[in-house]
Structure 1
């Protein structure tokens, strides 16, 4: 009898130790082999987010972390544990015979979502998500993962359902990512799980005391639990001429589509603001063939976040590609007859422009909230479970949540997705079923993670340091090679940034989350972060 499966011996039972990853071949298929707690596991070898090579990531206990964007999976089941991945990893059957490890191919490469509950028409509860970005998408799935079977309504001002927003300033803007890549899920996914995605819906009022939402259309919705995750709205620039046509922001898929068309025509563009999204947008427009100028108030781009050395390095990457910087400068006015044609700086310099991109950051979009005290920046304060008040939760750009160093509000895609997931789980656990049947809520304690792609180079950043008094370097940023930068305040490492140091960044994030970060002084003479993590 001929076997209808493919199987192969891939190693001796003692060839690998706990925490080790190895890519092996079974027939014509690449497989990731992992060992954790004395057991072998076999999985699809690429991250379900952007197909990052998981063998170059890190295995900590049962947590398998992708090197590129720190998506996390349970190595035992393949289930997705953390954003930005939505799908888990297919697994293969493993057996031990005569001290040999055999892997049998038991799935194809198509990954699957985590187990989700279905809509039950007899459940009369309604959960509403205000916002259709990453936080909203992960929240809806978190609710279903936690076995909520009632109605889920997602309200978004966007013309589209949840999509891959970080790509709007990168490959999509460059014309390298087709439209079909952008949705996080196909429309039938939301239909299958009873998640009603309502696009082009603007919320004008949310009253948590009465659990009522009012839309711009005049419609009102009563809810049992609500999550606010509307994201941010672009900061404005109050100078003469800002009302001229041809001045854009980059916040949505629609914005990216417009800018892509303009950029392909080889126009002259001035980007106002040297923020991450502003510089990424400038990079992408330059790749389309536009002549690009960046105007920034800072003397060095990203100096406040990453320090002068790394800021100057990143600036040099863009200058080599023909982008011109005007730093330490502000816009005095925009000139044009109905349509912008020039940007005038505070030193009198005149830069010709066919269009302008404003990249000045965002502020929380929370004007619709009633009876909720907002932070001075417009953010919403939550408890450790991301709960604002009874029946109301917050996630993403608007959420200011407690952390060991004090409340933080972080504007990053992975943070938004993971907060949305945790909030969705907690809404279901705290709001569904009889009190005796409710599961314990899950505190949100993830160390913040951020990545930026600049001229084909990816810098990963973990932690949060809005201020620092010292930077410890492992490697030299001025030589444009692999390096690690550790941001220190009061003798404590608050954050780290790395280029081509993916495993170190993962190890630092895991140590931060476990409260095991070493003192800054102990690592000045060199340090093995992965080995430090393995001491647990």
Structure 2
């Protein structure tokens, strides 16, 4: 009755790994075990063995960073406990298998693994089933924070009802793939299949947009008139935001697209073939879209208000490298170039007019100018909302009340892109970080704090980790670089192999790397452990 537990007897495979003194503390090795592999780790004098591949996208964990009993994936930052295999930071949802270690003849390290655990690199944490009675947790939003929250509740023995209200027409999916593989079908990128939710009684209702939350009667009301009574509530409407528009003539013409859903991505991919594409905004999504379309479209042009892509986040040098990479593939850039008008023919866009009067021919325009947080429906119910529309929460992801500084709704939480949360890396200053990894983590913290005692509440302490992939080149970024005052570069940016350290006075506050794994993962591990990385130590 518990998900993740095998009911049939499993064949045990044994493999000699090494001698007890062969490995040093902090060392990892990939060991062949039967037809599979295991990650062998020596930590604090003890050996342990877990699955060898990250459960997110399958990265080899042996190339990751090991510290404090956790191995961090070198690609996207997910963390796994080296003794249990449990996932402890994200992205991804699954744990890795755990294998047994036996010391034979006093000095031989032997791995004993179930054959079934070697056949897959993923493992579900056991989850309880729902009982008829009990509390009702309602989750608004269908993104990764919502899924992680629901799964964490079941892992932590919550037996009440769980209902996810999603404005999307399909199950929660991997949104990060939309800008990289635009013709992907929704069911190919679902975070979980329907059978998974059914097996642990997590109810997802699609096409259900919340329009009101009554904090006193504890009722969520939706667009079509349905209402849902809750005992505990989590608001994670990052996937429900409205794309920003530009207040310029012609914005309502046909073939002006935003990228928010799989339907948007599919429509863009279908129409862009052999067409002239103009992308408004050199954001990470905009640049990934350019990389995805340039080989299929007749032309791809990017216009951007700033002088260099990503200049504020990554700095001029890294931004220019990425721009030149795109230009080498045929993308044209128009920088310091605001779009002031869209012209059309027969109701469809035909030209984009820039502030200097120049015109770009456009069969379709793709806007990447940000999202408006989907929090308008919460404005009159006593919740604290920032001037930019983010929900203010405390260290435990509980929503703050607008009436009194510091007072919280004990049973209402927020997570993901809409949350303004205190960040440990900056002395608990309020921050809004719209990373895929952070949304997962928020969901787990919120769920944990729904079920633990008040003296066991968990803080948000994750290190932000972000990545982008363009033309097969992956950039990793970890930390929180807002307000950096200097950049120290190791390696050669022009060759696409570098580490850029962003500093604030003498402290490294963020790192961006390319072809330099596992530097980003190791930096994240170090600062999570409380080890400050100084400018002078680089």
Question: What's the TM-score, normalizing by structure 2?
Answer: 0.91
* Number of matched pairs: 508
Change beyond 3 A, Cα 1:4–1:185: closer
Conserved 8 A contact 1:208-1:391: no
Cα separation, partners in 2 of 1:283 and 1:100, compared to 1, 3 Å: same
Instruction: Please state if 1:408 is matched with 2:431.
Output: yes
1:316-373 CA-partner distances (Å, limit 9, x unpaired): 1111111111110011111113111111111111111111100012232101113213
Contact 1:145 1:425 in 2 (8 A): no
Q: Match of 1:120?
A: 131
Contact 1:508 / 1:517 at 8 angstroms: preserved in 2?
no
Q: Which residue of 2 aligns with 1:534?
A: none
Which deviates further from its counterpart, 376-385 or 24-33?
A: 24-33
Residue 471 of structure 1: aligned partner:
487
**Within 5 Å, which residues of 2 pair with 1:358-507?**
358-369=367-378, 370-388=381-399, 389-404=409-424, 405=426, 406-429=429-452, 440-477=456-493, 479-507=494-522
Which residue of the partner structure matches residue 4 of structure 2? none
2:132 corresponds to 1:153: no
Q: 1:142 touches 1:423 (CA, 8 Å); kept in 2?
A: no
Gaps of 5+ in 2: 1-9, 400-408
Q: 1:287 to 1:113 in 2, by over 3 A?
A: farther
Q: Give 1:333's aligned residue.
A: 341
Contact kept in structure 2, 1:292 and 1:323, CA below 8 Å: yes
Deviation at 1:75, TM superposition (A): 1.3
Name the structure 2 match of 1:305.
313
1:491-530, Cα deviation, whole Å (9 max, x unpaired)? 322211111223221221122223221332x22xxx4xxx
Give the 3 Å change call, closer, same or farther, for CA 162–439 of structure 1 in structure 2. Answer: farther
TM-score by length of 1: 0.92
SS at match of 1:299: coil
- The separation in 2 between residues aligned to 1:79 and 1:352, in whole angstroms, is 52
2:286 aligned with 1:271 = no
1:55 aligns with 2:71: no
Structure 1 distance, partners of 2:448, 2:300, is 44
Task: Answer whether contact 1:44 1:109 (CA < 8 A) is retained.
Answer: no
- In the alignment, the residues of structure 2 paired with residue 87 and residue 288 of structure 1 have an alpha-carbon distance, to the nearest angstrom, of 35
Is 1:32 the counterpart of 2:39? The answer is yes
**Structure 1: gaps spanning 5 or more residues:** 431-437, 528-536
> Once the 2 structures are TM-superposed, how far is the Cα of residue 210 of structure 1 from its aligned partner?
2.7
* 1:439 Cα offset (Å): 7.0
Deviation at 1:469, TM superposition (A): 1.4
2:3 alignment partner in structure 1: none
CA shift, 1:94, in A, is: 2.0
Matched, 1:223 2:230: yes
Offset, 1:385 = 0.2
Could you say which residue in structure 1 is the equivalent of 2:354? 345
Question: For 1:83 and 1:209, how far apart are their aligned partners in 2?
Answer: 34
Once the two structures are TM-superposed, the CA of residue 233 in structure 1 deviates from its matched residue by 2.8
User: 1:310 Cα shift?
Assistant: 0.1
Q: SS state of the match for residue 138, structure 2?
A: strand
Higher mean alpha-carbon deviation, 228-237 vs 394-403, is at: 228-237
Instruction: Give yes or no for contact 2:36–2:118 (8 Å, CA) kept in 1.
Output: no
Q: Report the more deviating stretch, 411-420 or 36-45.
A: 36-45
- TM-superposed deviation, 1:5: 4.2
Structure 2 partner of 1:435: none
Question: How do residues 500-519 of structure 1 correspond to structure 2 at under 5 angstroms?
Answer: 500-519=515-534
